[in-house]
Amino acid sequence: MDQAPYWGLVGVVLGGLLAQVANWVDHRRQRRERLEDFLRTKLEQREAFELEHLVEVNQLLRNLRRRGDELISAKKPDPRYAKPPDDHAERCRTAIREADAALDAQVGFILDDKVRELVKAAADRILDRAWTVYQEAPATFEEAIQRGTLGIGIYTAIEETHEAAEAAYEAISERVRELYAGFGEPRRRWPFSSWSREPGPTRSGHGAESR
């Protein structure tokens, strides 16, 4: 019996199966590449947003600190300079409230938990110090100046405020350096070995005036 037609049929079937397998493998490869491209694009978008936002928060925190110093200065203007306008103190109060609101509106968008908590702590210190000094009775404030104790205790808490602010600045700077160095998403390993990103190096309510 001639088996040539039989083997020919087997060859056709195998050829069809191999073509289907090749198509399936090619489809899987294309789908994987599309997923890789999608994840890479999303990561780049996330990092761009985070970088831009961190720079903005850094500026807002520094502005809040300046407004806090201005409010304290409004308590007793420097006699070496011209007397400020009558509404100077009110302008300072308005300015620090606006600076506080601007920063508070952006804090929740900080993606890194450590940075977010340090920024909030620094803002609390800045506000507590500024409003505490500003609301102190003028006689008590004058007495503190005369005794040279203005920088001690509840009046200014200069050292604590400085340390809190500097810690926040450093945390922001560190995260920005990580992003620029390509260490976005530091504690996450991506699922595809072809472009997985190794973790980067890491370090082991506001107080306000009664309104």
- Token pair recorded at residue 172: 């922001």
Total number of domains constituting the chain: 1
Question: Residue 64 falls within a domain, yes or no?
Answer: yes
According to the model, what pLDDT value does residue 209 have?
Answer: 45
Whether 67 contacts 127, CB under 8 Å: no
According to the model, what pLDDT value does residue 201 have?
Answer: 39
Tens digit of each residue's pLDDT (9 = 90 or more) over 22-67:
778 887 888 887 877 777 777 777 888 899 999 999 999 999 999 9
Residue 134 has pLDDT above 90, yes or no: no
Residue 143 has pLDDT above 60, yes or no: yes
pLDDT band of 170, cuts 50, 70, 90: very high
Question: Residue 168 falls within a domain, yes or no?
Answer: yes
Domain of 138, in residue numbers: 42-211
Question: Residue 23 falls within a domain, yes or no?
Answer: no
Q: Which amino acid does the sequence have at 123?
A: A
Question: Residue 68 falls within a domain, yes or no?
Answer: yes
HSE on the CB side for 122, CA within 13 Å?
28
Question: Residue 35 falls within a domain, yes or no?
Answer: no
How far is Cα of residue 7 from the mean position of the Cα atoms in its chain?
Answer: 69
- In this prediction the pTM is 0.65
Whether 74 contacts 88, CB under 8 Å: yes
d(CA 120, CA 202): 20
Question: Residue 5 falls within a domain, yes or no?
Answer: no
Question: Residue 122 falls within a domain, yes or no?
Answer: yes
Residue 200 has pLDDT above 60, yes or no: no
Question: Residue 33 falls within a domain, yes or no?
Answer: no
pLDDT band of 196, cuts 50, 70, 90: very low
**What is the CATH classification number for the domain harbouring 94?**
1.20.120
According to the model, what pLDDT value does residue 110 have?
Answer: 94
Residue 187 has pLDDT above 70, yes or no: no
- Token pair recorded at residue 77: 């203007």
